[in-house]
Amino acid sequence: GAGVSQSPRYKVAKRGQDVALRCDPISGHVSLFWYQQALGQGPEFLTYFQNEAQLDKSGLPSDRFFAERPEGSVSTLKIQRTQQEDSAVYLCASSLLGSGRALDIQYFGAGTRLSVL
Amino acid sequence: EDQVTQSPEALRLQEGESSSLNCSYTVSGLRGLFWYRQDPGKGPEFLFTLYSAGEEKEKERLKATLTKKESFLHITAPKPEDSATYLCAVPTSGTYKYIFGTGTRLKVLA
């Protein structure tokens, strides 16, 4: 399919483990966003990439969270030493344009549900 | 501080019973407002973008409107398949961040 793909769909981690969440955006999309969505809440912004450049990481909750998009396509969100409060759905979205120039529709993946025990 | 508030949190309607969802925002220099629909276990799906006060957009049973302080999503004669969580979102000024509301969970009963 041509949509945003995220893997794994579900991840169970023991507290203290490191996890890596993958996002495959729509081909050719310049912008890529990561969001965290707690149960019953709206998505909360984590970070933004324009191609391979991480232009905004103001939403990352701690230095345990790290994101990269080295070749301007696939992105990985890494969480080190996971804590119970990290349990949430992590959503990835991509959009065609760079956000600095124009507003653009964000296309979301189905998310990765992370449970930290 | 930029903020987006949605109401009600949850809404139950009978099939055919029209209603409106509200999204209030406080953002300096609004550049636009987005409405998304989210089904359980899925990511949000785009519905509308509104750019300026007075603008309206329609799609099937949905109509979105925008004023200087809030946006409404009007649902006319809803069907059970309209059941979902409806989210609004605004881009903040000066950053790449988007702020989402907590959503309205809509349930339409047959």
Q: Is A33 within 8 Å of B98 when comparing Cβ atoms?
A: yes
Minimal CA–CA distance to A109: which of B13, B102, B42?
B42
Task: Give the closest-approach CA distance of B31 to chain A in angstroms.
Answer: 8
Q: What is the pLDDT of residues A51-68, one digit of tens each?
A: 999 999 999 999 999 999
Helix, strand, coil percentages (3-state) for chain A, rounded to 5, are: 5, 45, 50
Q: Is B96 within 8 Å of A108 when comparing Cβ atoms?
A: no
Q: Which two tokens stand for residue B25?
A: 């925002």
Question: Are the C-beta atoms of B91 and B32 separated by less than 8 Å?
Answer: yes
CA B87/CA A35 separation, integer angstroms: 14
**CA nearest to B39 within chain A:** A110
Mean pLDDT score of chain A: 94
B93: confidence class by pLDDT, cuts 50, 70, 90? confident
Of B41, B97, B103, the CB nearest to A58: B97
- Residue A1, classed as helix, strand or coil, is coil
**CA nearest to A98 within chain B:** B96
A18: confidence class by pLDDT, cuts 50, 70, 90? very high
Q: Is B91 within 8 Å of A103 when comparing Cβ atoms?
A: yes
- The pLDDT score that the predictor gives to residue A98 is 78
Helix, strand, coil percentages (3-state) for chain B, rounded to 5, are: 5, 55, 40
Q: What is the pLDDT of residues B18-52, one digit of tens each?
A: 999 999 999 888 889 999 999 999 999 999 999 99
- The pLDDT score that the predictor gives to residue A103 is 77
User: What is the largest distance, in Å, between two alpha-carbon atoms of chain A?
Assistant: 42
CA B77/CA B45 separation, integer angstroms: 21
Q: Which two tokens stand for residue B48?
A: 């509308």
User: Which residues of A lie closer than 8 Å to B, measured between beta carbons?
Assistant: 4, 33, 35, 40-45, 48, 50, 55-56, 58-59, 91, 93, 99-100, 103, 105-111
**CA nearest to B101 within chain A:** A42
Residue with tokens 């729509």: A26
Q: What is the pLDDT of residues A19-38, one digit of tens each?
A: 999 999 999 999 999 999 99
CA B34/CA B27 separation, integer angstroms: 13
Q: What is the pLDDT of residues A72-107, one digit of tens each?
A: 999 999 999 999 999 999 999 999 987 655 678 999
- Residue A34, classed as helix, strand or coil, is strand
Tally A–B CB contacts below 8 A: 63
- Residue B29, classed as helix, strand or coil, is coil
Question: Are the C-beta atoms of B35 and B44 separated by less than 8 Å?
Answer: no
CA A78/CA A67 separation, integer angstroms: 6
